[in-house]
Amino acid sequence: MDDRLRTAPIVLAIAGFDPSGGAGVIADVRTIEALGCTAVAAITSITFQNATAYIGATHQSAASLRAQVEAILAQYKIAAVKIGMLPTAEIVREVAQLIEQFNLPLPVIDPVMESTSGGKLMADDAFEVFVRELMPRARVVTPNIPEAEKLAGLNICDEKSMGQAAARIRELGARAVLIKGGHVKLEAGARRQEPAEVNRKAIDLLDDDGELTFFRGEWIDATNVRGTGCMLSSAIACGLAKGNELKQAVSTAKRFVSQAIENSKRETRNSKPNPIRS
């Protein structure tokens, strides 16, 4: 066995495949390896998309997913699990059964429902099974605002309603909830319809078994970056794999993603137009 596999915590990513590499399991693996862990992965769906368009997908069967995971577990001891795209009820149910059967670490779940480029990533019946069978097995679930609103069944417009939504989501069984506030303009406890960008803040809320922690930072325009949710959830899984408490794992993960966004912006500013034309 490779020396690194003996020492680095092994993180299992169960997610969809984005051929453009901007999100999904490719983003997960990059993140896990960048944070000093070893990545192994099982694919739930092969999507056809890029930064601007979602064309479609071919979903894996439950048998295919199980075969991938069982092959991994036959060789490696898993320190943490990150779960992303779960397109069908069959896949959701299989993931829940695998976690239970093999006594896997309680997963970090990114409940992706739509892609940045516009595709629906979770079927309606899959959502119902997700809430019923997988949420109770989550160590932490990391919805963005639209996802949190759907899970909680209420509108989120300020920090108070973020807390109410997190409490409702925990009632579905998750031990902890991290609501990512980047999809709504929250400031000083109220929604601002057209905030001045200079005053805009990034506000995330962690509810860990009723203990609330707000993470506030400067807003970074991430319009040129995809897969930030994938990166964040994978980075949290890495922190847990290393034995960190959840709050520390979230804090470290947020710094990692913020740096990735800053690096992407810097590269975009420094890049020159390609003179080649087709």
Report CA torsion sign: 235, 237, 241, 244.
positive
pLDDT tens-place string over residues 218-248: 666 655 567 899 999 999 999 999 999 999 9
pLDDT for the residue numbered 33 = 97
Quote the crossing angle between the two packed helices 24-34 and 228-241, to the nearest 10°.
40
Closest by CA position to 85, among listed 19, 12, 15: 15
Closest by CA position to 207, among listed 249, 176, 172, 232: 176
Tell me the pLDDT band of 4, cut-offs 50, 70 and 90.
low
Listed range (15-19, 184-188, 195-199) with the worst mean pLDDT: 195-199
Q: Is 60 exceeded by the pLDDT of residue 154?
A: yes
pLDDT tens-place string over residues 11-23: 999 999 999 998 9
Q: Is 90 exceeded by the pLDDT of residue 155?
A: yes
Assess if CATH 3.90.1150.10 describes domain 3-259.
no
Average pLDDT over residues 33-58: 94
Average pLDDT over residues 181-194: 51
* Average pLDDT of the residues of the chain: 87
Instruction: Count CB neighbours of 77 within 10 A.
Output: 8
Contact 74, 32 (CB under 8 A): no
List the beta bridge partners of residue 24.
17
Contact 83, 107 (CB under 8 A): yes
pLDDT for the residue numbered 268 = 46
Q: Is 50 exceeded by the pLDDT of residue 189?
A: no
